[in-house]
Amino acid sequence: QDPTAAHYMFQDDPYLMPRNAASSRLFALSKESGRNVAKYIIKQFPQYFDKISAEPDIPCLMPEILTPRIEGVSEEALKERIHLRRVKESVDLFDQLVQAGTPVSLETTNSLLDLLCFYGDAESTPEKEEEIKEDLQEPGVNVSEQKAPKRQFQRGSQSSGSRWRENNNAERIFKIMPERNAHSYCTMIRGMVKHGAFAKAYDVYMDLLNERHKADVHTFNALITAAPYLKERFLERWELAKVFLNHMAQQKVQPNLLTFNAVLKTLRRCGGVGRSVSLLVIKEMEALDIEPSLATYDHLLFIFYRGVDLFPSNILSEVLDDVENRSFTPQDPDDEGCSVTFAIFCLTGFLQCCDLKDIKLAYRLNKAMEKGDNWKFLDMDRLNAYWSKFFSLLCMMEQIDVVLKWYKEAFSSLFYPTPKNILDLLQALDAGNHLEAIPSVWEDVKQLGFSRRPDLLEELLSLMSRDQHPEEIQLAFAKCAEDIRAAHEQTGREQAPLEWTGSALGHVALLFSRAGRTQDAWYVNIMERFQQINRIPTEQVMDEFLNCAKQTNCPDDAIKLVKLAASLDLPSSEKLKSRTEKEFELSEKQR
C-alpha cells in the first residue's frame, strides 16, 4: 500500500484529491449522488436507453428492462408489474381484476402483499430497490419470502421506509382475501414491524395462532425485534421475547443466526437484564453450532459498554479472541452498519473513557480490523473516526518514534487528522523531546485547512518559543511564525480576520528575534502592535528582542524598544534603558 496515496475511490480523478476529512466526505457524497442521478435518469427516461446491444453480451452489465410489456387486465400483467415493483400500478390492476370478478390466485395475491409490505404501501425508490435486491440475494429463503422485509429498526423505532398508514392497501387486500395461508399472515406481520406498527403486528400474530397456522423463522425474528416497543419495563420486554422463543420451540421452528441477533438487539433495550442474559444467548448459539456475525459482536459490546459509568468487563478480550483471526462476510442486514471495525471505533474511545489505556489491546483491535476484507465494512466517515481514535491513543501511550511512523503511514492514505489529533501529536512531540518535527507538522496543518484555528496556533507558537534551539531549527520555527503572521493578516471575502492575542504576538516576536530577524520582529508591526491591541509584552519578549538587537549591532532597534517599554509603562523599562546604555555604543543624540 502506498502511504502517500489517497483513498482508492478518489484515484480516478487526481484533481479532486481531498485535503481533509470534510472535503473527502463531500467528494464521496458527490460521487454517490452522481450515481443516483444516473440511475434516476435511466429509470425516468428509459426510451433514450433502448439500444442495449453489446459485443460480447454481458447481461449483468446491461440496464434492466423496466417497462411493462403485457397489456390489458390479466393476472399475468399483474405478476409483471409486481416483478417490476410498480406499487400503485399493481394495486390498481388488482382492484380491476376483483371488480371484473376475475379470481386472483393465492400465490399472486401473496406476492402483491410482499410488495406492499416491503415498501409500506408507498412507491418504490432507488434506495428501496437496492434494499430489496440485497434481500433477494439472501440464501436459504424462498421466492415469496424474499420480498418480505428483512431490515428492521435501523434507527431505534424508525425504519428506513415510510410509516404504516391506517387501513392502507395491504390491510385492505388482506381483509378481502377469500383465502389466507401462513405466508399471508407472516408477510403482514413483518411489514407492520418493519414500518413501526408493532401493536398491529402482535394482533395479526394472535390471529395467525387462532387460525392454527405456523409462523416462519423470519416472522419470529421480526416479532422478537418488536418486543421493546410492545412493553415498557425491561423485564417485561425480555419475558415477551422468551414467549416468542417458546412458541418457536412449540412449532418446531429452527432458530437461525438472525434469531439470536434479534434477541441480542432486544436485550440492548433491556438495561441490566440484557447484561445478565446476553452471555447465555451466546452459549446457546455455540450449542446450536451457529457462528456469530459482526452484528452479534456489535450487540454484545453495546450491551456491556454502552456507558462510561459501567465497570469495565473482560468481554472485549473474549470477543477479540474470537474475531482477530477471522475475516467476515455479511450475514445479517445489521452487519452492513455495525461491523467489527465500527465496534473497534467505539471501544477505542472506551479505552480512554474507562482509563484502560491498553495499547496492546488497541493493536489487537487494529489487527482484527485489517484482517482480510474487514476494513471494507467501514464507510469513509467511520474509517476516519476509527483512525482518529486509534491515533489519539497512540499519541498518549506510544514512544514518539512509533507515533511518527504511524502518522507518516496513515496520514492522507488512511485518514485525515482532526484538530484534536494534531494537538495530541504536538503533545507527543513535546513529551518525546522531538520539537524539531513541528515545521513538517505545520505544513500538514496548512494542507488540512487548520491554519486559522486559534487553539492550534497558540499551541504551536507556545512549543516553538518555549526554549532556545540550534540555529537551523530556529530558522525553521521563524518560517512557521511568518506563515502564522500571514494567516492573521490575510482576510478573504468569507473569512473573518484572526485577532492577535498578547501571547501569540509575544511568541512570534520571540521566534523572529531568536532567528536574528529583528526587522521582521519590528518593522512588520509585531512589536508595535502590542500598543494597537492594548496588550503588554512579557519581560522575556523584551529581553530576547534586546539580545537580538545586540547580536546584530542595531542600537536604533534597542532605543525603539526602550521607548516602547516607556510608552507602555512597563516595570522593566528602566532595566532595558540601563542595558542599552551599557551594551551599545550610543551617540550623544541617541543617549
Contact 483, 447 (CB under 8 A): no
For 405, the grid coordinates are: 511512523
SS3 assignment, position 515: coil
Q: Which residue, among 451, 434, 432, 452, has the nearest Cα to 442 in the 3D structure?
A: 451
- Are 478 and 515 a contacting pair, CB within 8 Å? yes
Nearest to 315 by CA among 334, 336, 338, 343: 343
Report residue 87: phi and psi, to 5°.
-65, -55
The grid coordinates of residue 164 equal: 404504516
Answer for the pair 536, 567: CB distance below 8 angstroms, yes or no: no
Residue 449 neighbours by CB under 8 Å, 6+ apart = 19, 20, 22
- Which pLDDT belongs to residue 348? 44
- Give the model's pLDDT for residue 134: 43
What pLDDT, on the 0 to 100 scale, is given for residue 139? 34
pLDDT in the model for residue 145: 34
Cell numbers describing residue 280: 447465555
Cis geometry, peptide bond prior to residue 330 (ω within 30 degrees of 0): no
Could you tell me which residues are beta bridge partners of residue 286?
none
Please state the pTM of the whole predicted model. Answer: 0.69
User: Could you tell me the CA-to-CA distances from 209 to 110, 114, 205, 244, 379 in Å, in that order?
Assistant: 19, 20, 6, 12, 43
Strand partners, 9: none
pLDDT at 117: 94
The Cα 144–Cα 115 span in angstroms is: 10
- Backbone φ and ψ for 340, nearest 5 degrees, come out as -65, -30
Collapsing DSSP states into helix, strand and coil, what is residue 158?
strand
pLDDT at position 229? 95
Please calculate the CA angle 410-416-418 and round it to the nearest 5 degrees.
120
- Which cell numbers in the block locate residue 581? 546604555
pLDDT 10s digit of each residue in the chain, 591 long? Answer: 566 666 777 766 667 778 788 888 888 888 889 989 998 888 788 778 777 677 787 877 776 777 788 888 999 999 999 998 889 999 999 999 999 999 999 999 999 999 999 998 776 665 555 554 444 333 333 333 333 333 333 333 444 446 898 889 999 999 999 999 999 999 999 999 999 999 999 999 999 999 999 999 999 999 999 999 999 999 999 999 999 999 999 999 999 999 999 999 999 999 889 888 999 999 999 999 998 888 888 888 888 876 545 544 577 777 777 777 777 777 777 765 554 444 554 444 444 444 456 778 778 878 877 777 777 767 777 778 888 888 888 998 899 999 999 998 887 777 889 999 999 999 999 999 999 999 999 999 998 889 889 999 999 999 998 888 999 999 999 999 999 988 887 766 656 778 888 888 888 888 888 887 767 766 445 566 676 666 777 777 777 777 777 777 777 777 877 887 787 777 777 887 888 777 777 766 666
Predicted confidence at residue 354, as pLDDT, reads 42
Half-sphere exposure of 421 (CA within 13 A, CB side): 26
Q: Give CA–CA dist 249/155, Å, rounded.
A: 30
Distance CA 559, CA 586 (A): 10
CB 552 within 8 A of CB 537: no
